Amino acid sequence: MTTRRKIAAGNWKMNGLQQALTEVEALSAANPAPGCEVIICPPATLLRSMAKRCAEAAINVGGQDCHQNSAGAHTGDISAEMVADTGATHVIVGHSERRETYGETDALVRAKTTAAWGAGLTAIVCIGETLDQRESGATLDIVGGQLAGSIPDGASGENLVVAYEPVWAIGTGKIPTYGEIEEVHDFIRARLVRRFGDTTGNAVRVLYGGSMKPDNAAEIGALSNVDGGLVGGASLKAADFGKIVAGLS
């Protein structure tokens, strides 16, 4: 039986100025020895100072995206090496907001994951269906296709975390039923085992994301094959995120 340490990952999205760094101190003070791995993904402007502040805390830091190339004429982008150079250890790739807003395809997400691994980062690869896709019964086909297309060969329990995030649950306050969450997570686990074998397939953590809150985190975290959460809005304030960390611990 594989034991997978749970993860509470916070995605701050485009939120947070320098003063928001104090949230990390509050989080750390409230959860000095969390029973789960804690990762905060602030905007790129805060990565370096966040990584410095978290060096002594039990908190890892991640970027929210990286370019697929290591350097070059890509105005406004940052490479995986640059993310790693800040002291970050993780990077989110393929978030639905990037897939939707910038038309990021599975092939591009796969290239970004390869770049993340090349820089020594753990990639948090996001997948998930839209409401139309769920209502038309296509959820498992969509999730299976994104999983196959977005993850390169060479995955391990250390370099890959998968985040299942139903697009319609992000920022809406709506979540699938617990049975629906388990169905998708069990399916993702089976696909990971089929592709990467028992050891790796059972070692990769699969997070749920989409309107996770203090009052549902523990119950969602206890579902089959749910190894924690990727949290947006409720990760911005230490008071809320600390409760989620506790709920997943």
Residue of 37, 67, 90, 95 marked active site: 95
Active site residue 95: yes
* Residue 10 engages ligand PEP in binding (rule: CB under 6 A): no
* Residue 128 engages ligand PEP in binding (rule: CB under 6 A): no
Please give the single-letter amino acid code of residue 244: I
Please give the single-letter amino acid code of residue 30: A
Strands (DSSP E) found in 143-210: 160-164, 205-209
Shortest Å, Cβ 153 to ligand PEP = 26
Q: Which residue of 37, 104, 129, 165 would you call a contact of ligand PEP, by CB under 6 A? A: 165
Q: Which residue of 209, 228, 242, 247 would you call a contact of ligand PEP, by CB under 6 A? A: 209
Q: Which residue of 116, 184, 212, 244 would you call a contact of ligand PEP, by CB under 6 A? A: 212
Cβ nearer to ligand PEP, comparing 8 with 119:
8
Of 46, 88, 93, 42, nearest in space to 66 by CA: 93
Part of the chain binding ligand PEP (CB under 6 A), chosen from 15-23, 106-114, 203-211, 215-223:
203-211
Give the residue at shortest CB distance from ligand PEP: 232
Nearest-5° angle of CA 125, CA 148, CA 213?
35
Active site residue 165: yes
Please list, in sequence order, all residues whose beta carbon lies within 8 angstroms of the beta carbon of residue 103, skipping any fewer than 6 positions away: none
Going from the C-alpha of 42 to that of each of 15, 48, 67, 184, the distances in angstroms are 8, 10, 17, 28
Active site residues: 95, 165
